[in-house]
Chain A
Amino acid sequence: MFISDLFEETYFAISANKTRSGLTILGIVIGIGSVIAMISIGQGASGQIQSSIEGLGSNLLTIMPGVVQPGRGIVSSGRGAAETLKNEDIEVLRSIAGVAYISPELQRRFQIVSPAGNNTNSTIIGATAEYPLVKNVSVEQGSFILENQLRSMSRVAVLGPTVAKDLFADSDPIGKTIRINKVNFKVIGVLQAKGGAGFFNPDDIVLVPLTTMQKILAGADFLSTIAISVQEKNLMSQVQDEAVVALSVKHRVDPQNPDFSILSQADILGALTQITDTFTIFLAAVAGISLIVGGIGIMNMMMTTVTERTREIGLRKAIGAKRLDISLQFLAEAVMLTFLGGAVGIILGAGLAYGVTFFTGMATKISLFSIILAFSVSAGIGIAFGYWPAQKAAKLNPIEALRYE
């Protein structure tokens, strides 16, 4: 039997029974497609969480009052519960080498009312002029809070895009007056949208001068967080250590047991990794199950195909086919079917992933690993269970095979 004949026979055999071939291919397509889609969603989600945390600011250290309990991730320190961070701490931190910018913040939730009477409840952050530099935000319209507005305790506000939309819909908010906690503020700017990070919405905020926040809105002289941006990534841990020492001295507490906590992006990432890991394990389990189900489908189809075709094997042997001819034909068929199904499955899986991104906005990432995994498992099963029963049938003598029911 020539190689060209082998391919021709394979082509004839596959096209002679389109339903059977179609069902076999379908099993492979579903097996491979679902695994690729699952894994791409899982990896896309972890990738998105990671990048949105990095998007919070570059080389960011966050100082919070109270204690962040190790092993339990970030524990809310309770607003006002710990009032250990003060304005004076800023000057101490500024003297540490490697610190680029410092953004002290005091954050509260207040009712906000627009001139038209629309109201919303949002996070009000008292911030300084360095806030945009530390937090990687920029102003889309108008301007940000300036030094002189801080000194004069101006009643001005910069709106996050979500708040701007809630209060003013599509009209221009710049120059309008809003009421925050019954105090009038003039809108001087709107921030550029950052997009949801999944856990909190960085667009749903209002920024006011820190001094205004402390003296007029909150009536408090402490800070809820101090965000520090460090000049270079490799200075992060050094700055973090020095900040602990400097602040402990200032607060007169034991550096081993301070009344504040400093978190880096790595710490936050570490806490969130627990969540993404669980998510990934869940999706991997789903993918594994679909691979098993798909595999059983392929196995089933291949086994019935060969059983059904034992008579054909007998006939081919009767007219002179050797064992090897039969084995090679069925192997070629199994390979052809799994590769056809594999190609379609990869396209389907990628299509599903793109579809998820398109319709839900969830990030997906198609990895070579998932393609190789899904393909090799399905192809392995398809080929093994196409070849092995054919091999068995090829060992029967022609009459036994022809009599097979």
Chain B
Amino acid sequence: MIEIKNISKIYKTGDVETKALKDISFSIDDGEFVAIMGPSGSGKSTLMHILGCLDAATSGQYFFDGKDVSKFSDDELADIRKEKIGFVFQSFNLLPRTTVLRNVILPLIYANFPREKREEIARNSLLSAGLDEARFNHLSNQLSGGEMQRVAIARALVNDPAIIFADEPTGNLDSKTGELVMETFRKLNKEGRTIVLITHEKYIAENAKRKISIRDGEIIEDIINHH
């Protein structure tokens, strides 16, 4: 499903160059459940942004469903994002001063989804992400961190994407609700969706079928979990 070849990402801040990713290559097949681990600053989020077609690599190639998206235009990437990809940001990135429901409906608007069905789909998505119905009409900035996390997950799910990227989806949750969210991801994976998530915690990574560890922008381990 996705394949990256010799991907590098260099950030330039003034004269300082940060090599966030150094010549990384790997591929992920349809239906896989991959956990990416690594210490803070190792380049996990940077990698996810490139995989999620949100940012461009400095060099290297990226094949999505066999197509070289590193050569795609801005608008072509937008099409892939809205049709194939669900993305859960580490910092949620919800629209402030806007209701929970509206936040989840937003991707459906850009996907030209029929108006009548939007709300129902958004509600289902929120329920499956484990958010209490009483919160649906709250403004996004009136939620707790854990609730925002679930809204962000619901928004990623709402478009029925083939692949979901989640940047520390359980980072703000206690272990009980964290387990609930992981249950959601396991269920989605069973339905055939590809899941890629970043985590710091070993017990979360145990849920995944495959574990990629990176440090200083390089892959140091890529193993299959045997349950």
Contacts and interface: CB of A to CB of B under 8 A. Distances in A.
Interface of A: 1-2, 4-5, 9, 12, 16-17, 311-312, 314-325, 395, 397-400, 402
A12 B103 CA distance: 11
A322 B75 contact: yes
Given A395-B74, A397-B56, A320 B93 contact: no
B55 A321 contact: no
Given A315-B93, A319-B81, A1 B55 contact: no
A2 B87 CA distance: 23
A312 B115 contact: no
B97 interface: yes
Given A2-B115, A321-B78, A397-B56, A315 B110 contact: no
Contacts of B159: 320
Contacts of B109: 1-2, 5, 9
A322 B78 contact: yes
Given A4-B115, A320-B78, A397-B55, A16 B110 contact: no
A395 B54 CA distance: 13
B95 A1 contact: no
A318 B110 contact: no
Contact of A325 (B54, B81, B110): B110
Contact of A315 (B78, B79, B95): B95
B74 A397 contact: yes
B49 interface: yes
Contacts of A398: 54-55
B143 interface: no
Nearest to B158: A319
B75 A323 contact: yes
A400 B49 CA distance: 11
B44 to A, nearest CB: 14
A321 B81 CA distance: 9
Closest 10 CB pairs of A and B: A320-B82, A399-B55, A320-B110, A16-B97, A319-B107, A398-B54, A322-B78, A322-B75, A5-B109, A315-B93
Contacts of A399: 49, 54-55
A319 B55 contact: no
Contacts of A320: 78-79, 81-83, 107, 110-111, 159
A399 to B, nearest CB: 4
B212 to A, nearest CB: 21
A18 B15 CA distance: 42
A297 B25 CA distance: 52
Contacts of A400: 55
19 contacts: A1-B109, A9-B109, A16-B96, A311-B93, A315-B95, A316-B110, A317-B78, A318-B87, A318-B93, A319-B110, A320-B79, A320-B110, A320-B111, A322-B74, A323-B75, A324-B75, A395-B74, A397-B54, A399-B54
Contact of A318 (B81, B96, B102): B81
A323 B82 CA distance: 14
Interface in B67-107: 74-75, 78-79, 81-83, 87, 89, 93-98, 102, 106-107
A308 to B, nearest CB: 11
B40 interface: no
A360 B90 CA distance: 65
A391 to B, nearest CB: 13
B155 interface: yes
Interface residues of B, number: 30
Given A9-B109, A315-B93, 10 more contacts: A2-B115, A16-B98, A316-B106, A317-B78, A318-B81, A319-B82, A319-B155, A320-B78, A321-B110, A322-B78
Nearest to B82: A320
A72 B93 CA distance: 73
Given A2-B112, A320-B111, A17 B97 contact: yes
A322 B97 CA distance: 23
Contacts of B110: 1, 316, 319-322, 325
B140 to A, nearest CB: 11
B106 A319 contact: yes
Contacts of A5: 109, 115
Nearest to A315: B93
Given A319-B110, A320-B110, A12 B75 contact: no
A309 to B, nearest CB: 10
Contacts of A9: 109
B112 A1 contact: yes
Nearest to B77: A397
B74 A323 contact: yes
Contacts of A325: 110
B83 to A, nearest CB: 8
Nearest to A16: B97
A94 B164 CA distance: 105
Contacts of B89: 318, 402
A5 B102 CA distance: 12
A159 B14 CA distance: 89
A298 B115 CA distance: 34
B167 to A, nearest CB: 12
A402 B92 CA distance: 11
A403 to B, nearest CB: 10
Interface string B45-66: 0000100101110000000000
Interface in B152-198: 155, 159
B11 to A, nearest CB: 10
A320 B111 CA distance: 7
Contacts of B55: 397-400
